[in-house]
A and B are shown apart, each in its own frame.
Chain A
Amino acid sequence: MKQSKALLPLIGVIILLAVWTLVTTLRLVDPVLLPSPVATFRTLWAGMAGGKLGADFIKTVMRTITSTAIAAVIAIPLGILLGSSEKVYRSVEFLIDFFRSTPASAMFPLFLVLFGVGDRTKIAVAAFGAALVILFNVAYGVMNARKTRLLAAKVMGASRTRVLFDVMLRESLPQTFVGLRNGVSLALVIIVVAEMFIGSTDGLGQRVFEAQQLFDMPAMYAAIFAAGALGYTLNLLFLLIERRFVHWAGR
């Protein structure tokens, strides 16, 4: 019974592959537009195992991780600082919400001027977008620390600094991880877009774009799947880290 439940998610995958196979075998769609699953996954496998796609995959991973790391290093301490005083946070809340709502892609031209054409611009824009998401979540995590828990620490004689490090920081961790997961997803989106259009020669975005330009549909689908797998894996990775370090989340 338990085993069959674990297999449930596979049903959707099987249905998708079945429909896809059916559509391509019956030639319901022009094969140039939609290659068969076999052709697609063969290209994906060849590309990832030592081909060009693998190298581009690594490039995108590095850029995404770098920008998220930069964002986290800036946003987590800042979020704690802002969140530890509700007054301070309220005074900058509008700015954070405004720039959080601004599409990061609108910032490309500005960042191009600031950082030139190259990796620095891509990473900077992605870090900018991710940082605001992380900042917002960390600050809320700190602000929403359970009052009783803070009071309990205070009543036991904890100083303000001890309350901050022993209670507020721990209390904010679940929300911080929400921010990190959202941040890394946003960073990946921005990086892939940047790789397509901001004078790039490599990365998954470039691979998708180039395959489309050359009308190499199996390569395009393969690159899309690679990007999807990357996004999914990054999210999963953060979830696993979260479960390990924030075992009390949601309990």
Chain B
Amino acid sequence: MSPSASVAAVPPGTFDESQRTAPHVTIRGLSKRFTDATIYDKFDFDIPRGKLISVFGPNGCGKSTLINMIAGLVPPDTGEVLFDGRPLSEVKFGYVFQNYREALFPWLSAFDNIAYPLKLMGVAKAERDRSVERLIARLGVKIDLALYPYHLSGGQQQLVSIMRALIVEPEILFLDEPFSALDYEMTLFMREQLQRVFMETATTTVLVSHDLEEAVYLSDYVLLLSRHPARVVEFVPYDAPRPRTDRTMTESTFITTKAHCLYLFQQEVRRG
């Protein structure tokens, strides 16, 4: 069926994972109708391995629906999504919601929130604690995680959400407009946190964003979608070296990439 289906038969660790060049996620013939509109009609796309891609497009074009279908939150009408030839049920993934306030469990401390996915996997308490401590050290997080989520700031809560998604060492990380409920100062801080996470883990990351500056700044590719039914308008590469800083945003490659995306975006908006 899928050319990469044979890959799943090879036990992990027998070859260098980083040498693989095949796409990580293959999306084939994805269709989704809501009562009033066809959002996706036979949508095909390949998500590259170990890259951070941003999904950007006009309002209501189905940016979030796309990652929700890939992550299994919304069932597609037809079509198939495979991760190295395997279905979602065999894949460890992380998902970060826009609404961190409702996504975290307020009855658990921030630490226990982060450890919860491991608990679901049946990992013993001592091992869970060690894993969380390792993740804290690796990401250099300086939050008092003994606190309950409602005692943390919005940005801190979202960072806890991201850590909860990362604790299982996912193959792929989905973020649905993770910073849009934060104020600007916190958004800037969280961009740096996410970049650090990505540089540390090199996890394939799909970020839905409604902020073009953020989309370009953070990603290796910007996936520009059309109005519904969504097509790929362009898969825009941006390969500025990391860590990117405020200086990056003043460089000509950043400015031209962003201008190019904006041009395509506005063309799409006018079509509607």
Q: Which residues of B contact A167 (CB under 8 A)?
A: 105
Assuming the contacts A157-B117, A158-B120, A162-B120, asked whether A148 and B148 have C-beta atoms less than 8 A apart, the reply is no
Q: Which residues of A contact B97 (CB under 8 A)?
A: 148, 151-152
Of all chain B residues, which has the CB nearest A169?
Answer: B107
Q: Does A27 contact B (CB under 8 A)?
A: no
A156 interface neighbour in B99, B102, B106, B120, Cβ under 8 Å: B120
B102 interface neighbour in A146, A158, A170, Cβ under 8 Å: A146
Q: Mark B52-81, 1 if CB is under 8 A from A, else 0.
A: 000000000000000000011100000000
Q: Which residues of A contact B105 (CB under 8 A)?
A: 149, 152, 166-167, 170
Chain A contact residues: helix, strand, loop or mixed: helix
**CB–CB B73/A155 < 8 A:** yes
Of all chain A residues, which has the CB nearest B168?
Answer: A156
Q: Which residues of B contact A149 (CB under 8 A)?
A: 102-103, 105
Q: Does A248 contact B (CB under 8 A)?
A: yes
Q: Which residues of A contact B71 (CB under 8 A)?
A: 155
Q: What class of interface size applies to chain B in its complex with A?
A: 20 to 34
**CB–CB A248/B148 < 8 A:** yes
Interface centre among A148, A152, A173, A246 (most CB of B within 10 A): A152
Of all chain B residues, which has the CB nearest A170?
Answer: B107
**CB–CB B103/A251 < 8 A:** no
A247 vs B116: C-alpha distance when bound (angstroms): 19
Closest Cβ–Cβ distance, residue B153 to chain A (whole Å): 14
A167 vs B102: C-alpha distance when bound (angstroms): 12
**CB–CB A247/B99 < 8 A:** no
Interface centre among A146, A162, A173 (most CB of B within 10 A): A146
A156 vs B99: C-alpha distance when bound (angstroms): 16
Q: Does B150 contact A (CB under 8 A)?
A: yes
Q: Mark A153-187, 1 if CB is under 8 A from B, else 0.
A: 01111100010001100100100000000000000
Closest Cβ–Cβ distance, residue A74 to chain B (whole Å): 25
A152 interface neighbour in B103, B107, B148, B150, Cβ under 8 Å: B103
Of the A-B pairs whose beta carbons lie under 8 Å apart in the complex, a sample of 8, sorted by A's number, is A149-B103, A151-B97, A152-B103, A155-B72, A157-B120, A162-B120, A170-B107, A247-B107
- 9 new A-B contacts, CB < 8 A, other than A156-B168, A157-B117, are A148-B97, A148-B103, A151-B97, A152-B104, A156-B117, A156-B164, A157-B121, A166-B105, A166-B116
Give 4 nearest A-B pairs by CB, closest first. Answer: A248-B106, A148-B102, A251-B150, A156-B117
Give A contacts to B, CB under 8 Å.
146-149, 151-152, 154-158, 162, 166-167, 170, 173, 246-248, 251
